[in-house]
């Protein structure tokens, strides 16, 4: 048995010794350098360029401007393609943009012999603009008469959707429930950046009439398609290779600069062109987590039973559509799914273009924002009713067998109550809630919690499909290729364990190909949506079962037995009944390759189209100490408990949770992209001013699991990659509420904001 074992990561040695080859390690020595020239305004139109001085810079080979690129608008989101136009992503940008929509927009590109020449050339380019007033908030963007950022979307609203659960509206329910308590609040989350270690990087070159792109991407097969759309060339003329990747967290689930890079190599006769995006550019000019304003109301009975809720959300999309409305729709779904309203719930969501950086996918995909609203509201209700917020959640949280009325995704297994109970005991919730009651003084302590649920993959909203290929080697080992991408999360290790579990070949004899190459690798849409162990795992299982049948059929012919009499266990063909050795797998493999009578290369490849989904869930408990006088929060203790089904590798699972909790701490306490409100210029696009938590800011991270095998998962497993980042911020916020009686309704919980709120509530002068 391999599932549930703590095997060492299959890529561990290469990564810790520095032998693993990332994109930057593979750039050819003769590669030119491509550099984006960025706008110095946030809103307007490029009228003209003066390139004379830039072209005189030694080493500058060519400059291409927004007036010269192909007139093709294309989408950038890493979503599966659809043959139905209504399900396709919004195509709203070109390789370079004449219409400037954000500070640092891509308006020209330089090809140079080296980085210095490219930098110097960019500084020498003079640009004439027609300048418009920057529009940075959704409220401004929706104001009648304001300039349209995209002419195809008058009024700047990309999409406005609404739904209702139950027969009556919130107002009708409110009118009927005369004794209900109403709680109303607006919650706001901020724009943050992924801050993956490896910044976006690619290089492109040509082989005959085909373009080859080597890129740090989560979605190689989708990159291939989008580059074809951007350059208006057949997709088969593009080859994408993904080596080892130094993190993505959703930023690289967008097609960032691969299309431009592909175009630049065609301008220099196919010579390699490298594009490496700086840390400053990554922070301000790639993708961010969406800032969302969420206006909420709730009706609740005095015993704590939730009657009805209302949710209205305004998502700041920024300059280009990217993943667009899917993010805020996910926020509304989280708000809907995690609690059981006795009478009903209604939501309305707006996604709005502004002149901010483009919002895209980031770990949690809208759920961290929706969970912040739902979990802050839960504590605000409990506070008003003078009720334990844990008991409120047990009374109202989603029940076993819940089915979403719109997507029809079911809670096949629901460990949320078991997670709460486990965390309650291990964290010491009851004792600490009592201990920290009615504190005085400038230093106070409190505990808070937050729950969440998260679906596994994107079905039925989008296509879920994945393939796997297995090849039996001459020595009885197994070569495995996955279109699913290892991006640092341990996917290759999980797939290796899955393959071992299904085939009976031990992990040490399974060699997974970590790089994806669209010319060779079977198709998979990529690493996102916490889908790979669930969706791509089904492909591993299906392919492994097919391979074993072929191996046993060949072995049976060798020994004159029936295939059904044999099993493959620990690299040996054994008799099903007696368990005795029949043949070593190595003997079967060698014979299959070299037999003069019956040479057969035993391989298997299978596609799994996943038409199912399920929910993972969990809880975070946080204990904080608040120094009211200086607005400082210290995390004393923090615990996540997760229901993610059967764990493939418990140690890897724990590591995933640690990483997500760390991201949640930054989201809660300090991270925020800041901009000049008059010009839209970034103010903290560097890691000195953008406040990431360090190891010194991070407490011991406690992790627990409830393992409920889910029948829909290939090995009883379900989502884990994104969930750990979801509940941390609201749990900390709720702990601050418990400590100080002050409800902070926006992130981050930075000192300046805390001091302002504490003054407002009379805690400090």
Dump pLDDT digits (tens) for 680-736.
999 999 999 999 999 999 999 999 999 999 999 999 999 999 999 999 999 999 999
pTM score, two decimals?
A: 0.97
CA distance 675 to 672: 10
The two structure tokens encoding residue 245: 């990747």
Pairing, β 572-575 against β 566-569: antiparallel
Of 246, 718, 235, 242, nearest to 481 by C-alpha is: 242
Q: Number of H helices and number of E strands within the chain?
A: 20, 27
CA distance 286 to 200: 9
* CA 348-352-357 angle, 5° bins: 135
Percent of the chain with pLDDT over 70: 100
Q: Residue 765: what pLDDT? A: 82
Distance (Å, rounded) from C-alpha 112 to C-alpha 62?
Answer: 7
CATH 3.90.1170.50 fits 12-132+200-276, yes or no: yes
Instruction: Please state, as a whole number, how many other Cβ atoms lie within 10 Å of the Cβ of residue 611.
Output: 11
Six-digit token string for 527: 């690493």
CB burial class (10 A; 0-12, 13-18, 19+) of residue 240?
A: buried
Distance CA 658, CA 688 (A): 24
Q: What integer pLDDT is reported at residue 85 of this predicted model? A: 87
- Tell me how far apart the alpha carbons of residues 457 and 409 are, in angstroms, rounded to a whole number: 11
Characterize 508-525 residue by residue with b for buried, 16 or more Cβ atoms within 10 angstroms of its Cβ, and e for exposed: ebbebebbbbbeebbebb
Can you list the alpha helix ranges (DSSP code H) found in 65-180?
115-124, 138-141, 170-176
Q: Helix, strand, or coil here: 536?
A: helix
Write out the CATH class of domain 465-609.
Answer: alpha beta
**DSSP-assigned states of every residue in 429-487:** HHHHHHHTTT--SSEEEEEEEEEEEEESS-TTTS--EEEEEEEE-TTS-EEEEESS--S
pLDDT tops 90 at residue 748 = yes
Q: Could you tell me the CA-to-CA distances from 32 to 114, 117, 118, 218, 260 in Å, in that order?
A: 6, 11, 10, 24, 14
Q: By percentage, how much of the chain surpasses pLDDT 90?
A: 99
| Rounded Cα distance, 443 and 436, in Å | 11
Write out the two tokens for 510. 């399974």
Distances (CA, A) of 422 to 180, 415, 427, 602, 732: 32, 10, 8, 48, 19
How distant is the alpha carbon of residue 665 from its chain centre? 17
Predicted pLDDT at 151? 97
CB neighbours of residue 120 within 10 Å? 18
Inter-CA distances, 476 with 469, 473, 576, Å: 16, 5, 20
Checking if the pLDDT of 86 tops 90, the result is no
Count other C-beta atoms under 10 Å from residue 128's C-beta: 11
pLDDT tens, 636-693? 999 999 999 999 999 999 999 999 999 999 999 999 999 999 999 999 999 999 999 9
Report the C-alpha gap between 294 and 283 in whole angstroms: 25
Consecutive H or E run containing 703: strand 701-705
Confidence of residue 83 (pLDDT cuts 50, 70, 90): confident
Which three-class secondary structure string do you get for 478-497?
A: EEEEECCCCCCCCHHHHHHH
What's the token pair of residue 464? 């879920």
Question: Which of 366, 292, 349, 353 shows the shortest CA–CA distance to 321?
Answer: 353
Q: What is the average pLDDT across 5-27?
A: 97
Q: List, by residue range, all CATH 3.30.365.10 domains of the chain.
A: 291-459+612-760, 465-609
**What pLDDT score was predicted for residue 10?**
97
CATH for the stretch 291-459+612-760: 3.30.365.10
Closest CA to 428 of 449, 444, 442: 449
691, two tokens: 């406040």
**How open is the CA angle 615-618-619, to the nearest 5 degrees?**
155
Average pLDDT value over all residues in the chain: 97
Q: How far apart are CA 80 and CA 430, in angstroms?
A: 46
Q: What is the pLDDT of residues 408-467, one digit of tens each?
A: 999 999 999 999 999 999 999 999 999 999 899 999 999 999 999 999 999 999 999 999
- Residue 434: CB atoms within 10 A of its CB come to 9
> Which residue, chain included where needed, has tokens 């809907």?
336
CA distances from 712 to 70, 308, 718 (A): 45, 31, 8
Q: Collect all residues with Cβ–Cβ distance below 8 Å to 408 and sequence separation of at least 6.
A: 460
Please report which confidence band the pLDDT of residue 1 belongs to, taking 50, 70 and 90 as the band edges.
confident
**DSSP 3-state helix, strand, coil percentages of the chain (rounded to 5)?**
30, 25, 40
What would the mean pLDDT of 522-529 be, rounded to a whole number? 96
- Residue pair 385/307 in contact by the 8 Å Cβ criterion: no
List the alpha helices (DSSP H) in 504-649.
Answer: 537-559, 585-594
Q: Start-end ranges of CATH 3.90.1170.50 in the chain? A: 12-132+200-276
Residues 6 or more apart from 638 whose CB is under 8 A from it? Answer: 620, 621, 622, 623, 661, 665, 699, 701, 702, 728, 731, 732
Query: Could you report the per-residue pLDDT of 158-213, keeping only the tens digit for each?
Result: 999 999 999 999 999 999 998 999 999 999 999 999 999 999 999 999 999 999 99
C-alpha to C-alpha distance for 64 and 76, rounded to whole angstroms? 21
DSSP string for 116-146? HHHHHHHHH-EEEEEE-----SHHHHTSTTP
Gap between the Cα atoms of 753 and 750, Å rounded: 5
CA trace torsion 106, 108, 114, 120 (10° rounding)? -100
Dihedral pair phi/psi, residue 729, rounded to 5°: -60, -50
Q: Which has the closest alpha carbon to 222: 337, 52, 88?
A: 88
Whether the pLDDT of residue 571 is over 90: the answer is yes
CA angle 567, 572, 578 (to 5 degrees): 55
């Amino acid at each position: 048995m391999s599932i549930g074992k703590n095997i060492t990561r299959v890529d561990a040695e290469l990564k810790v010794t520095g032998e693993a080859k990332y994109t930057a390690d593979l750039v050819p020595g003769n590669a030119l350098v491509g550099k984006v020239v960025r706008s110095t305004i946030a809103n307007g139109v490029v009228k003209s360029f003066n390139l004379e001085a830039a072209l005189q810079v030694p080493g500058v080979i060519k400059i291409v401007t927004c007036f010269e690129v192909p007139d093709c608008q294309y989408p950038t989101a890493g979503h599966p393609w659809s043959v139905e136009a209504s399900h396709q992503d919004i195509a709203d940008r070109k390789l370079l943009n004449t219409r400037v929509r954000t500070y640092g927009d891509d308006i020209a590109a330089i090809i140079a012999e080296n980085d210095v020449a490219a930098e110097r050339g960019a500084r020498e380019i003079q640009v004439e603009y027609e300048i418009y007033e920057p529009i940075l908030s959704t409220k401004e963007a929706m104001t009648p008469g304001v300039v349209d950022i995209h002419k195809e979307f008058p009024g700047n609203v990309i999409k406005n959707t609404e739904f209702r659960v139950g027969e009556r509206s919130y107002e009708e329910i409110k009118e009927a429930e005369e004794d209900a308590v109403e709680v109303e609040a607006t919650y706001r989350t901020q724009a943050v950046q992924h801050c993956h270690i490896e910044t976006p990087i690619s290089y492109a070159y040509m082989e005959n009439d085909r373009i080859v792109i080597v890129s740090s991407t989560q979605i190689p097969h989708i990159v291939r398609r989008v580059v074809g759309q951007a350059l208006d060339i057949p997709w088969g003329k593009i080859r994408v290779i993904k080596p080892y990747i130094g993190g993505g967290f959703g930023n690289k689930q967008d097609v960032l600069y691969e299309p431009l890079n592909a175009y630049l190599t065609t301008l220099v006769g196919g010579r390699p062109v490298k594009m490496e995006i700086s840390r400053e550019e990554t922070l301000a000019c790639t993708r961010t987590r969406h800032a969302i304003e969420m206006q909420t109301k709730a009706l609740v009975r005095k015993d704590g039973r939730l009657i009805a809720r209302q949710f209205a959300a305004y998502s700041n999309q920024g300059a280009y559509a990217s993943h667009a409305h899917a993010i805020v729709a996910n926020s509304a779904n989280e708000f809907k799914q995690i609690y059981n309203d006795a009478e009903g719930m209604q939501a309305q969501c707006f996604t709005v273009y502004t002149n901010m950086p483009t919002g895209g996918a980031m770990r949690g995909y809208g759920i961290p924002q929706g969970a912040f609203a739902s979990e802050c509201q839960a504590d605000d209700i409990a506070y008003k009713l003078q009720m334990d917020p844990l008991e409120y959640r047990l009374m109202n949280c989603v029940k076993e067998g819940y089915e979403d009325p719109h997507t029809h995704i079911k809670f096949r297994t629901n460990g949320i109550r078991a997670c709460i109970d486990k965390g309650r005991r291990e964290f010491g919730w009851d004792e600490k809630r009592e201990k920290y009651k009615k504190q005085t003084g400038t230093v106070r302590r409190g505990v808070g919690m937050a729950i969440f649920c998260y679906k596994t993959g994107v079905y039925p909203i989008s296509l879920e499909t994945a393939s796997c290929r297995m090849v039996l080697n001459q020595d009885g080992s197994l070569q495995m290729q996955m279109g699913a991408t290892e991006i640092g999360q341990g996917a290759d290790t999980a797939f290796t364990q899955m393959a071992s579990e299904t085939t009976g070949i031990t992990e040490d004899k399974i060699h997974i190909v970590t790089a994806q190459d669209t010319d060779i690798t079977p198709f998979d849409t990529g690493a996102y949506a916490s889908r790979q162990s669930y969706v791509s795992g089904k492909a591993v299982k299906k392919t492994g079962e097919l391979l074993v049948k072929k191996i046993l059929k060949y072995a049976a012919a060798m020994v004159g037995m029936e295939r059904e009499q044999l099993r493959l266990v620990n690299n040996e063909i054994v008799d099903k009944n007696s368990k005795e050795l029949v043949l070593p797998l190595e003997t079967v493999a060698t014979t299959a390759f070299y037999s003069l009578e019956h040479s057969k290369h035993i391989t298997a490849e299978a596609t799994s189209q996943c038409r199912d989904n399920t929910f993972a869930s969990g809880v975070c408990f946080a204990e904080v100490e608040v120094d009211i006088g200086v607005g400082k929060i210290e995390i004393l203790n923090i615990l996540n408990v997760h229901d993610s089904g059967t764990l493939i590798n418990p140690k890897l699972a724990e590591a995933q949770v640690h990483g997500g909790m760390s991201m949640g701490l930054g989201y809660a306490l300090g991270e925020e992209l800041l901009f000049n409100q008059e010009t839209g210029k970034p103010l903290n696009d560097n890691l000195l001013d953008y406040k990431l938590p360090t190891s010194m800011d991070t407490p011991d991270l406690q992790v627990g699991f409830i393992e409920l095998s889910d029948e829909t998962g290939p090995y009883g497993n379900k989502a884990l990659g994104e969930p750990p980042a979801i509940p941390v911020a609201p749990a900390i916020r709720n702990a601050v509420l418990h400590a100080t009686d002050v409800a902070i309704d926006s992130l981050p919980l930075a000192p300046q904001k805390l001091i302002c709120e504490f003054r407002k509530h009379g805690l400090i002068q």
